[in-house]
Every structure is written in C-alpha cells, then in structure tokens.
Amino acid sequence: MTELNAAMVERYRSNFLKEVEANVEEGEWVKMCMQCGVCAGSCPLGNAWEHTPQKIFMMVRAGEREAVLNSDAMWMCTSCYNCIARCPRGLPITHIMHGLAHYAKRMGLAPKEQPTAKFAQLFWDNLVKKGRVNELKLGISLYFMNGFSEGIKTSLKMKDIGLGMLKTKRMSPMEMLGGHGVKDSAGFQKMLKKAQELEDKRISGSTD
Amino acid sequence: MTEIVATNETILVVGGGISGMTAALEAAETGKQVILVEKRAYVGGRISQLYKYFPKLCFPTCGLEINQRRSKMNPNLTILTMAEVTDISGEAGAYTASIKISPRYVNENCTGCGDCAKAVELEVSDDFNYGMNTHKAAYLPHKMAHPQRYVLDPAIIGTDDAEKAKAACKYNAVDLDMQEENIELKAGAVVWATGWQPYDANKIQPYGYDRMANVITNVEFERMMDPTGPTGGKLLRPSDGKEAKDVAFIQCAGSRDKNHLLHCSRICCMASLKQSTYVTEAWGDDASSTIYYIDIRAIDRFEDFYKKVQADENVKFIKSKVASIVENKENGNPTLHGVDTEGYHRYATEHELVVLAVGMQPSVDKDAFPIDITINEEGFIEPSSENGGVFAAGSASDALDVNRAVQHATGAALRAVQVVNRVARAEG
Ligand SMILES: Cc1cc2nc3c(=O)[nH]c(=O)nc-3n(C[C@H](O)[C@H](O)[C@H](O)COP(=O)(O)OP(=O)(O)OC[C@H]3O[C@@H](n4cnc5c(N)ncnc54)[C@H](O)[C@@H]3O)c2cc1C
Ligand code: SF4
Ligand code: SF4
C-alpha cells in the first residue's frame, strides 16, 4: 500500500463516499444518483465493463473502496457523453469516471495491465517532455507497449498507414530526433512542478 | 351577441375540467353568480378522455353526469364554451376580463340528431382521441359531451360542405353567419382552473415516439379502451392492428428529469398500474404487462391498489429506467434496452406495444398568463397574497389526481366566495 493510500484509508475510515466527495473531481455529485440505470443502459461499451457507472456510484456509497479503485471500469470510459446527455439528475458522469480513474492512479490502486491506463501514462510521459505531443514517438511507444516482438508485428501491420501519413505531411520523420516543443521549455517545467505541488497539497493524507 | 350579466360580485372560473366545474358548482350552490369559461366545445376537460378512474375503477362519465345535472339545475351558473380569457385587469373585488368566443356555427336549436355530420364529407383530426383517428368536420366532440350540441370545424366554412350541413339540419340549428365575439365581463374573484396537458413525447428522443408506431402514450392508451374510441375499445397496435397482449409501460417518461419536467407528475405510476388492469381485463391470462419504473409512487391509500396489481401474475415489475427503444423491423416490436437496478442485469426485451407514462405539464405556458400571477419553476400556480383575487384550482396548481384536484378546487371556491362577500359588504 502506498503511503498516501494508507493515509487516506486512515483518514476516512469506512466513509468512502466522503473520501470521494472531498478528493475526486466532481465527486460531490455521487450522492445525487437515484439509481435509475439510464447511464448503464446508454453506455455503448456497457457490456464490456466490469461495473457500469450506476453500479460504481452505488459501490462508492456502499463503501466498497478497494473494489471501486481496483476496477478497470473507469478506464473503459470513452467519453462519448451519452450518459451525461441522458442522466435525469444531471450528474457529470463522464467526468466522475475520469476523476475516479485519476484518484485510483494517485492511490497506486489502478489496475496495472489495463491498456487504456497504460496508454494514458505513455501519453503523459510523452507530453511532459516538450509540452507538445510527439505523435511519431507516441505511436511507436504504443506499438511496443506489450513488448518488442509484438511491437515489430504491429509496426509492420501499420507500415502503409505510416508511409501515407509521411507522404501527405501529416507526420514528419524528423520528429524522431527530438521533435518540436513549446518555446519556453523551462517555464513549462516550472508550471508542471507548481501544478503538482498544488495537487499534492489538495490530495494529501497529512492536512486538515 | 352573447348577453351576460356580471358584476363585481360575480365569480369568474377559467377552465371547465373537473376542477373548474367543481369550483363553479360549489360557489354557485352557495348562491353566488358564477361564469365558467371553457376553451373546448364541452365541459369536463381531460377526465372525459379517461376510460376508468383509479382507484375505484369506475367510469368518469358517472361523476361527469352528476356535475352536468347539478349545473343544469343551477340558475346561478352560466357556462361559455369555445371561450378563452384573453386579458384580465383590475384587482381583487374589481376585475375586468376580456373573453374571446369562437363561432360554433351551431345554435341552441341543435338536438344532437347528427344529420349534419352525415351530410358533410371532409374528415378532420379527432382531438378528443389525441389525433388517433379522424371524424367528420361536423361533429359532436364525444358521446357524453355537455352541451350536447354539434360543432362545425372552421375548415369547412365557405365550402360546399358547410352548405350541405345547413341544408341537412331540420331544426335550423346550423348558423353559418356566426362570428367570433369579444366580450368584457366584470368579476370580483377569479378561479384559475386551466388544468394540464400531457408532456410532448416527441421530446424524449431515445424512446422514439416519433419514429415507432407501436410506441404510444398513456393518454392514447386510455382512448383505446373506450368502446367509442379510435379502436372500438380494443387494444390493437397502431402499426398492423394486431392484438396487443404483451404491453410494456415506461414510467417517468419525461418526468423527474432535468432534461424534461423536473417534477414527479404523481399520477402516472397509478395510471400505469390502472392501465395494467385494462390489459388483464382485455386478454385475461393471455395478458402480459411489464412496468419499468424507477420507484413506484402510489401515494397514501393508493398503496392498496399497488398491492392488488402486484398480486396479478400477469403483471411484472422491472426496476429500471429504460435507456432506449429500438424497433425490430421484422415484426414491428419495440425492443427495450436498459439495465435492471436489482442485480444490474442488462436486458434487450421485445414487447408488442409500449406505453410511455408521460407526465402532467401545466396547459398554460408560463409566459402566456393574461394576468400577473405567481408561478413556480414548473409552471404551476403558487398560492401567494400577490395573486390578489385570483385562485388556482386543481391541476393548474400542481400535478394532482381527481380526488385531490376536486378538494383543491373546493378550497379555491371558498376563497373566491370570501372575496365577493367582502365586495358585497362594502357595496352594502
Ligand atoms: C394517463 C392519465 C390517466 C389518469 N387517470 C386518472 C385516474 O384514473 N384517476 C384520477 O384520479 N386521476 C387520473 N389522472 C389525472 C386527472 O386526469 C387529472 O387529475 C384531472 O384531469 C384534473 O382536472 P383539471 O380540471 O384540474 O384539469 P383539466 O382536465 O386539464 O381541465 C382543464 C380545462 O381547462 C380548459 N382550459 C385550458 N386552458 C384554458 C383557457 N386558456 N381558457 C379556458 N379554458 C381553458 C381545458 O380545455 C380543460 O377543459 C390521469 C392522468 C393521466 C395523464
Ligand atoms: S443516469 Fe444518473 S441518476 Fe440514473 S443511475 Fe446513472 S448517474 Fe444515477
Ligand atoms: S408518478 Fe411515478 S411515473 Fe410519474 S413521475 Fe412520479 S415516479 Fe415517475
């Protein structure tokens, strides 16, 4: 268990709903759910999930902390916004799902081998280097996400698309040598550091 | 010209549904002069379009008949039909109302024989049956209509059909020269009883009311059961006229929803429970009703009714707000998609007919009231001292069943009587 996770368990004891309300983006909405089921039935990926949003919200209220934060459900959300559009109570469901995913990650409880979680990490690592997403490197790291040999296989499969993109100038091979970035790189890194500090202060076991 | 005597001691009732009728009769029976203004060609309002009443499952026509007899016997009550209030000015004890009376083209000589209807050829949409069928452009709005007098649809005025209607009438009742009239009336107090309208099901996009013939509304379902209704009292589905034995009801269709009506319409749970008894009444043990609900709100003593329906083996309950409906193109069955809250099971279930339990919305638009009055977020009239001598009655004030609407209307009548009593004392 990470230190932060241990601190949170200690602080909120069995009241997971309170923990979610205080720390998860849009978490204060969870109690407004009336369990009608419209979001669950409206999700285009619904049958591919372990738990639907409706069920996740009930689990939060039932204090099923581990089961929620370990779940892959939040990571499956594609942000189609069907549920938000239909929820009769106006819950920002998509945002809560992402908020929960983020919080699970902070607590070190996100599922390790979940592909979208892995990709999110790749995306982040790529972005923070230069302040711009390097699509060539991101694409390649995505292909090699599950090991070297599978990476080669995927690269070969995608070869024609890649060449097409090069031809139409949708991708530049020069990106491989560093690539473009924001002008004020030092400023960008400072900003990230500050944001991290603020975030750590917000979610931390030691304050208030 | 319509000759009406009205003074500051007169009570004006706007809307002649069960609430307006009740308020008008209660006030008139205390000896007050009452004028009832009704937009439709007949009084009774929406209850006249119901097949049976919950919880007793008696026919609304019975109560209507009693009210009609009371009103015929009472000389203090004047009823204006096809009339609308367009403006009200003044204050408690001294109002002036402007009223527009549309031409009926049929006068008091009408005996209700129906010869004009036989003569006319044009068919127009039958509003009484929510447009599920058409009727002749000379028509009696419904069998029990009060007054029992035919109406000519304005569409035939100036055509041969109008002349045919006139020629067919043996009683000289068809009067093609009738014009719209605008009159002014005085009143000391106003009872506002304009009632409700069903929420527009077309706005609930995922339920496809506009796309699927076999998705209908609860008000239409009531009309189907009426022996004189569009299907002759049979539960037949609109797409192919097949007997509808497997019927699904979807609760809160447009109610308790921030995208539609915010409020719980209160009566639609009971209406669907009642309508499930229609399905059983029609098909016996071949009947199958499935009620999809968030929670069943059978308030107060209605709980007993709920229990009785639960005991019917032909009625199933599924705790789930249906997410969407897709049509099975092969057999016309609507397929309901959703997740069952009790166990979180995903379903895709076909039914022969789907009834949307649409809610009650105020019939008068928030911004269309002819007088300044306190209106809440949902468009219902709130009690307030700022309303002066204007009192809401029945479902213009909230989503109410008949019993509660009538109680509320009686209270409104009492308040109106108090105002005109004050006027009478002041005038000595
Ligand atoms: C599907 C369904 C089933 C129902 N079944 C039952 C049941 O079984 N038992 C029960 O107790 N309740 C039932 N209800 C509720 C019942 O219909 C209402 O309680 C009742 O109609 C309320 O009567 P009202 O007079 O307040 O309104 P309304 O019946 O709407 O009457 C209002 C009248 O005012 C008139 N009007 C409107 N605007 C104007 C204007 N500007 N000027 C003049 N006149 C105007 C209208 O034409 C109408 O005649 C049901 C409702 C639904 C939706
Ligand atoms: S649609 Fe909204 S109210 Fe209904 S279960 Fe989902 S989150 Fe809850
Ligand atoms: S009465 Fe029932 S169906 Fe109607 S809005 Fe309320 S809960 Fe929904």
Structural domain includes residue A127 = yes
Q: Could you tell me if A80 and A119 lie in one domain?
A: no
Question: CB-based contacts of B346: which residues, under 8 Å, 6+ apart?
Answer: A40, A41, A46, A47, B338, B339, B340
Look at residues A94, A111, A128 and tell me which one is the last residue of a structural domain: A111
Cβ atoms B241, B265 nearer than 8 A: no
Instruction: Report which DSSP code applies to B330.
Output: T
| Cα A77 to ligand 2 centroid, rounded to whole Å | 15
Interchain CB contact of B141 with A (< 8 Å) = no
Token digits of residue A154: 């995927």
Residues B160, B143: Cα–Cα separation, whole Å: 26
pLDDT of residue B280: 98
**Which range among A60-69, A108-117, B1-10 has the greatest average pLDDT?**
A60-69
Q: A112 or B50: which carries more pLDDT confidence?
A: B50
Residue A207 has pLDDT above 50, yes or no: no
Closest CA to B346 of B314, B323, B371: B323
Q: How many CA atoms lie within 13 A of A119 on its CB side?
A: 10
Find out whether the beta carbon of B263 lies less than 6 Å from any atom of ligand 3.
no
Q: Could you tell me if A99 and A121 lie in one domain?
A: no
| Cα B348 to ligand 2 centroid, rounded to whole Å | 19
The class that CATH gives domain B199-360 is alpha beta
pLDDT of residue A43: 92
Look at residues A48, A79, A111 and tell me which one is the last residue of a structural domain: A111
For the domain bounded by B11-102+180-195+363-427, which CATH number is listed?
A: 3.50.50.60
Residue B104 has pLDDT above 60, yes or no: yes
Question: CB-based contacts of B264: which residues, under 8 Å, 6+ apart?
Answer: B252, B255, B256, B297, B359, B399
Structural domain includes residue A119 = yes
Q: Return the residue of B nearest to A42 by Cα.
A: B323
pLDDT of residue B1: 60
Cβ atoms B19, B193 nearer than 8 A: yes
Look at residues A85, A111, A137 and tell me which one is the last residue of a structural domain: A111
* First-to-last C-alpha distance (Å) of chain A: 22
Map out the domains of chain B as residue ranges.
11-102+180-195+363-427, 115-168, 199-360
Residue A157 has pLDDT above 90, yes or no: no
Residues B32, B225: Cα–Cα separation, whole Å: 39
Token digits of residue A6: 């241990």
What's the pLDDT band for A143 if we cut at 50, 70, 90? Answer: confident
Residue B419 has pLDDT above 60, yes or no: yes
Rg of chain A over CA atoms, in angstroms?
A: 20
Interface test with B, best of A34, A35, A36, A58 (most B CBs within 10 A): A36
Q: Which of B294, B319, B344 sits opposite A52 (nearest CB)?
A: B344
pLDDT of residue A208: 45
CA distance A111 to chain B (A): 23
Q: What is the dihedral of CA B60, B66, B69, B71, to 10 degrees?
A: -80
Q: Could you tell me if A106 and A145 lie in one domain?
A: no
Q: Could you tell me if A76 and A137 lie in one domain?
A: no
Q: Return the residue of B nearest to A90 by Cα.
A: B258
Residue A92 sits in a domain of what CATH number?
1.10.1060.10
Residues A48, A75: Cα–Cα separation, whole Å: 11
Q: Could you tell me if A12 and A104 lie in one domain?
A: yes
Structural domain includes residue A147 = yes
B400 residue type, one letter? L
pLDDT of residue B221: 98
Which range of residues forms the domain containing residue A28? Answer: 3-111
- The model's pLDDT over B256-300, given as tens digits with 9 standing for 90+, comes to 999 999 999 999 999 999 999 999 999 999 999 999 999 999 988
CB-based pocket (< 6 A), ligand 2: A 33-39, 53-54, 57, 87-89, 91, 93
Q: Return the residue of A nearest to B264 by Cα.
A: A88
Q: B230 or A10: which carries more pLDDT confidence?
A: B230
- The model's pLDDT over B390-409, given as tens digits with 9 standing for 90+, comes to 999 999 999 999 999 999 99
The Cβ of residue B401 has, within 10 Å, a number of other Cβ atoms equal to 18
What's the pLDDT band for B30 if we cut at 50, 70, 90? Answer: very high
Question: CB-based contacts of B180: which residues, under 8 Å, 6+ apart?
Answer: B100, B101, B102, B103
The Cβ of residue A51 has, within 10 Å, a number of other Cβ atoms equal to 20
| Alpha-carbon distances of B244 from B105, B169, B214, B251, rounded to whole Å | 40, 41, 10, 19
Q: Could you tell me if A149 and A128 lie in one domain?
A: yes
| Alpha-carbon distances of B296 from A4, B107, B272, rounded to whole Å | 44, 48, 10
Find out whether the beta carbon of B20 lies less than 6 Å from any atom of ligand 1.
yes
pLDDT of residue A13: 84
Q: Could you tell me if A121 and A107 lie in one domain?
A: no
Taking residues B338-350, report their average pLDDT.
95
Cross-chain residue pair B324–A42, CB shorter than 8 Å: yes
pLDDT of residue A148: 81
Q: Could you tell me if A78 and A25 lie in one domain?
A: yes
Interchain CB contact of B102 with A (< 8 Å) = no
Closest CA to A23 of A91, A107, A87: A107
**Ligand 3, closest atom to CA B272?**
3
Q: Which of A34, A41, A90 sits opposite B339 (nearest CB)?
A: A41
DSSP string spanning B310-329?
HH-TTEEEEE----EEEE-T
Give nearest CA residue, ligand 1 atom 17: B47
Taking residues A188-208, report their average pLDDT.
82
Cross-chain residue pair B320–A41, CB shorter than 8 Å: yes
Residue B357 has pLDDT above 90, yes or no: yes
Q: Could you tell me if A97 and A16 lie in one domain?
A: yes
Residue A147 has pLDDT above 90, yes or no: no
- The model's pLDDT over B189-206, given as tens digits with 9 standing for 90+, comes to 999 999 999 999 999 999
Indicate the number of domains in chain A.
Answer: 2
Residue B2 has pLDDT above 80, yes or no: no
What's the pLDDT band for A98 if we cut at 50, 70, 90? Answer: very high
Residue B28's H or E segment, with its range, is helix B18-29
Residue A205 has pLDDT above 60, yes or no: no
Structural domain includes residue A86 = yes
Residues of B in contact with A36 (CB under 8 A): 252, 294, 320-321, 341
Find out whether the beta carbon of B17 lies less than 6 Å from any atom of ligand 1.
yes
Residue B179 has pLDDT above 90, yes or no: yes
As for the ipTM of the complex, it is 0.88
Structural domain includes residue A150 = yes
Question: CB-based contacts of A129: which residues, under 8 Å, 6+ apart?
Answer: A181
